[in-house]
Structures are given as C-alpha cells and as structure tokens.
Amino acid sequence: MDQKTRDDLLKLFQSKLNQAMLFYLETCTRCGTCVEACHVYASMGQVKYIAAYRHEIVRRIYKKYFKARGKLWPTVGESKELTEMALEELYEAAYSCTGCRRCMVYCPFGIDTQMIMSIAKLLLVGAGTEPEILTMLADTSIEKGKSLELYKEGFLKGLKNLEKDVVKKWQMEAGETAIPVDVEGADILYVALAGAHSIIPAAAIFNAAKENWTLSFFEAVNFGAFVGDPTRTKLILDRIINEATRLKVKEVCICECGTAFRVMKQMAGKQPFEVSSITEVHARYIREGRIKIDKSKFNRPITYHDPCQIARNGGVFDEPRYILKHLTDDFREMSPEPIYNWCCGGGGGLVALGEDTLDFRMKSARVKVEQTQATGAEILATACENCHAQLDNLNEHYKMGMQVEFLSSMIADALVPA
C-alpha cells in the first residue's frame, strides 16, 4: 500500500473518531465476558469471531496511528500497520459481524462492536475493497432520489398491477384508491421495500384501518448503512425525509426492515414527523379497534424472532407480542429473553450479498436454529425482510419444517371486518 493511500485511509479513520468511538477504543480490558455473546462464535467456535477479538483488529491500527505509544512502544499493544493484509483482516471481521449488538449486552462497559466495525467498513470503502454489490445498490438508491421523474411512470404502472391483489385481501369502497401515492397532508407516509410482499399486505391493513396514508416513491432499505458509508447512508435517508417534509405527513411508517427502521428512527434527527415501525402501527390499530383479526386463521403454535435492529437496538418488543396475542392462543416465546435473542445471522448486509455469504450464514446461525426449534413452534414469525430471508434459508438448509412468515402478512391474511 502506498503512502498516499494509507494517508487517505487514515483520514477516513480519523473521521470516525467521535467521543463514543474513543470511549469504545480506549476502554476494552479484553476481559472476555463477551466470548459467548456472538452467534458466529457460539455456532462456529473460532476465536476470531469473539467481539473483543474483532475490536482488537481495528484497535491495533488505532494504537499504531492515533496513540503516542504506537510510536514509542508499539509492541505493548501489538499495534499494527495498515497494509493490504490488514485490510483483508478488517474485511473478515466486519463482514462476519451482523451488527446485532448482542455483545453489547454482555460487555461490562457496553462497547458497541457495530460502531467499531463501522471503521473497518469505511476503510474498506476507501480502499475500494468493500463488497461491490452493496455500493452499487446504495448508488442506485441515491440515483433514484436524484432523478425520480425517470422512475415515476414505471413505478406507478407497477403499483396499478398490485392494486387488485390489495383489494383481494381487503375490499374497498367504490372510488377509493387501493395504493395512494403522493398524497399531500396524508397522516402516514409508508416506506416499503421494492417488492409486492412489502406493499400488498400493508396496503390492505391501512385500508382496513381507514388510514389516510400514502406510499413513498422510495424503498426503505439503506444499503449505505450496510456498507458502512456515512455519506451514502445520509443521502439515502434524506430522500425519504424530503418526501415526508414535502407531503407534510404526520408520521413516517417504516416497513418490516430492521436497518431502515433504526436508521430513520435514530439518525434522522429532529423532524416534524414521528417515525414508527409498521409493527407499532399495526399494534395501535388493534388496540384502537380499527382493525380486527381472526384468531382461528393460524391454529398452529407460533414463535417470534425479534429483529435485532427493531427490538434490542430499536426498542420495539411489546407490540409484536401484543399482535401475536390476537393472532394465536399458542404463542411460544424464545429463550432466553428477547434482549438476549440470537441474531438470525443475516444482518449487516450479509443477506444482501446473497449466495456469496450463504454458506457462512448457514454455519454461523446454528444457535438461532436451535433456539427456534426449542420452542416447538411450527410458524416462525418475524418483522424484518433480512431476517425473513435468512430464516427462510435456515429453514430449508436445516430442514426445520417451519413456516416462516412476515407478521404483517399474517395480519393481512387474518383481517375480518371490525
């Protein structure tokens, strides 16, 4: 690696050193309390997957270039030069971490591995060695934000084709639009994913609840966050903020996507609208009697996988359980309690990398399979696109014989007139 590249990368490193990051980098005593926290280590048993080991890969470079003893006494902290090989190590650490932050619940200090891994991810972006597909997907999202007019017509046409499926799930009154778009003054802006399964059930439920809603032109998922690029993350986020502000909506409702929800909820800053997950909105409809669901629709035991970014990192625990109480009398909670829920193994962009990560995702999520099977449930519900895709893969790979369902689809399928 030439000096210029290294200097540029170190500038990127420096840009990540805010107060919290310094806390995280300066504090770890390598006590090893986090050893059993990571699902990858618990499933595969290799030391390189322990949270503190991952931290140290980044921390050694920090010690080398940002601490005096990197020069005066480099061996004491085993500080390490930033080289091509170091980048490879950073890649392995960052893209085997799903950012689930389970280790944060173990650490006596609460060190956030996802934050430390975001340095690794940014360095990889700077060196052009990040997973290319994630950057491409992020750039596509940004491009869509810039030239919406080009996409608009095709998008609206696509929606027209979906409307009949929405109506099939919930009959509308004559003259009502099944999927409203660009409605100024709507109460809710619903941000979905690029896929019918994320739009049809949600639309049916909004219509059943007689909600004054409008569908966003943009997809919720933030590939900028997956690839760890703060600039792209912000640009992708801003498209939705701008749309919500333009339409003067009261609430932005994020579809079943953990990263999208957390990024919008926690990184949007102070805005004139509320941010909620679709699970929260659905629980509210049931509580207010705006929708009613038929409990006999699913008569097999159900368990629920808490998506890390929505539950442990986003605070939405009670709402999915409230919904499930209305969907079944046989809900089986996973053990241990939700804050300790094992990650599905698909976060941090791993599912988006598809086949490339499939083998690793299957091996690294063995503990998730065991946790799920221990409930004896036959239906595995969740509220995140990534989790759903990963759990589906696990179901097939481990021949779990379960039915993996989106919570919103289950509600839509069980809708009855209120």
Partner 1 sequence: MQTIYYIVLVPMVYIAFAVFIVGTALRLIKIFRTPPHPATLQIFPEKRPKWLWALHDTFLFPTVRRHKPLLWFFLMVFHISLFLLIIGHLELFYDFQIFQIIPHQIFLGKGIVGLLAFVSLLYFIFRRFHSPVKELTVPEDYFLLILLLLLVLFGSQMDWARRWYEYGELTVEDYRTYLTSLLYFKPELPYAVTYSGHSFMLVVHVFLANLFLIFFPFSQIMHSFLALPINKLRRG
Residues engaged in binding partner 1 (CB under 8 A): 17-24, 26-33, 35-37, 47, 50, 52-53, 56, 67-69, 75-78, 101, 104-112, 115, 266-267, 269, 311-315, 317, 339
Distances (CA, A) of 5 to 14, 54, 57, 89, 189: 14, 23, 19, 17, 43
* Nearer CB in complex with partner 1: 107/227: 107
* Nearer CB in complex with partner 1: 180/314: 314
* Minimum distance from residue 378 beta carbon to partner 1 (Å): 28
Angle value at C-alpha 47, between 46 and 53, nearest 5 degrees: 140
* Minimum distance from residue 218 beta carbon to partner 1 (Å): 20
Distances (CA, A) of 336 to 97, 126, 332, 368, 371: 21, 39, 12, 12, 9
Instruction: Please state, in angstroms and rounded to a whole number, the distance separating the CA atoms of residues 22 and 230.
Output: 18
* Minimum distance from residue 375 beta carbon to partner 1 (Å): 21
What tokens were used for 296? 């006999």
For residue 102, give the H/E element and its range: none
* Minimum distance from residue 145 beta carbon to partner 1 (Å): 21
* Minimum distance from residue 398 beta carbon to partner 1 (Å): 26
* Nearer CB in complex with partner 1: 233/390: 233
Instruction: Please state, in angstroms and rounded to a whole number, the distance separating the CA atoms of residues 371 and 390.
Output: 15
Instruction: Please state, in angstroms and rounded to a whole number, the distance separating the CA atoms of residues 250 and 273.
Output: 5
* Nearer CB in complex with partner 1: 92/187: 92
Closest to 383 (Cα-Cα) out of 327, 322, 309, 326: 309
* Minimum distance from residue 409 beta carbon to partner 1 (Å): 25
Instruction: Please state, in angstroms and rounded to a whole number, the distance separating the CA atoms of residues 145 and 141.
Output: 6
For residue 125, give the H/E element and its range: helix 113-127
* Nearer CB in complex with partner 1: 118/141: 118
* Nearer CB in complex with partner 1: 116/286: 116
